[in-house]
């Protein structure tokens, strides 16, 4: 999978941008070309969606050789989700959210996100902690203009994110795609964490703790985009996901 978001739509941690200067011989792949390369590598089962210049989502179907990396896609009411992995408690969560037995993980996560956005009955970190299994997902809410991404804590699924030369933010499970466009301004997306474009990066495993950036040095000794770790000595105020539309008025 590959998700690309225009600069300004997503405001990543500043430490993700590497201070290492680019070598003159390095020619970075523009984000649009990265989409084309993704589709060329997945001719039989890949497709992409574009939302003007704001966002691009590219998806390829499940790789049957690796069931832990099952890939799913759904789009409902201008909310688009790419999901990787699988949930052990999918059936019980479908009942909890009033979904049919046949609803898959991508549909469930989309409904959970919509519930958080519109009603917010529980904090976002609690909803994510209820997901049992291996998972990583990226949600683009086209109507609200927001991005929500999360990665499970068991390290079975990997995601990477980086900053392209034009300032676009790229998220993918394919590290080669990220490196080709972002050079050293990339890092693994931290396990057990979530990112919302209006709330930033936080740990849903340790919601009362702040995140801190740890220096990352590559094999050539150059500083790269930082690792992001939980600062166990810090304290943070827990914020739920921002509401939108009429539900944004909490007095109603």
| CATH code for the domain in which residue 211 is found | 3.60.20.10
Q: Supply the Cα-derived Rg of the chain in whole angstroms.
A: 18
Intervals of the chain under pLDDT 70: 21-25, 62-69, 121, 236-252
**From CA 203, how far away is CA 150, in angstroms rounded?**
9
pTM: 0.88
Angle at 227 between CA 223 and CA 228, to 5 degrees: 140
Q: What pLDDT score does 28 carry?
A: 93
| Domain span holding position 222 | 2-20+27-248
Confirm if 128 and 150 have CB atoms less than 8 A apart.
yes
Q: Is the dihedral of CA 63, 34, 140, 230 positive or negative?
A: positive
Please tell me the predicted confidence (pLDDT) of residue 245.
56
pLDDT of amino acid 65: 43
User: 3-class SS at 127?
Assistant: helix
- Alpha carbon distance 113, 22 (integer Å): 38
Within 10 angstroms of residue 119's Cβ, the number of other Cβ atoms is 10
pLDDT at 224: 87
Count of domains in the chain? 1
Q: With contact defined as beta carbons under 8 Å apart, do 188 and 136 qualify?
A: no
Residues 6+ apart with CB under 8 A from 217: 223, 224
């Amino acid at each position: 999978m590959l998700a690309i978001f225009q600069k300004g739509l997503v405001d990543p941690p500043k430490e993700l941008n590497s201070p290492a200067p680019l070598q003159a011989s390095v020619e970075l792949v523009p984000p649009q070309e990265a989409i084309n390369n993704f589709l060329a590598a997945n001719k039989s089962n890949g497709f992409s969606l574009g939302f003007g210049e704001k966002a691009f989502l590219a998806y390829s179907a499940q790789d049957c050789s690796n069931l832990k990396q099952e890939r799913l896609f759904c789009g409902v009411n201008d909310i688009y989700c790419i999901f990787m992995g699988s949930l052990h408690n999918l059936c019980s969560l479908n009942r909890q959210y009033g979904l049919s037995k046949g609803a898959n993980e991508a549909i469930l996560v989309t409904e959970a996100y919509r519930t958080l956005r519109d009603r917010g009955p529980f904090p976002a970190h609690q909803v994510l902690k209820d997901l049992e299994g291996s998972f990583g997902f990226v949600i683009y809410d086209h109507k609200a203009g927001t991005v929500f991404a999360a990665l499970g804590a068991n390290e079975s699924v990997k995601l990477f994110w980086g900053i392209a030369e034009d300032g676009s933010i790229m998220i993918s499970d394919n590290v080669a795609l990220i490196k080709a466009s972002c050079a050293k301004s990339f890092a693994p997306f931290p396990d057990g964490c979530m990112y919302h474009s209006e709330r930033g990066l936080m740990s849903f495993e340790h919601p009362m703790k702040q995140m801190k950036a740890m220096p990352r040095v590559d094999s050539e000794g150059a500083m790269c985009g930082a690792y992001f770790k939980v600062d166990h000595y810090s304290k943070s105020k827990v914020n739920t996901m921002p509401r939108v539309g009429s539900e944004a008025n909490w007095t109603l």
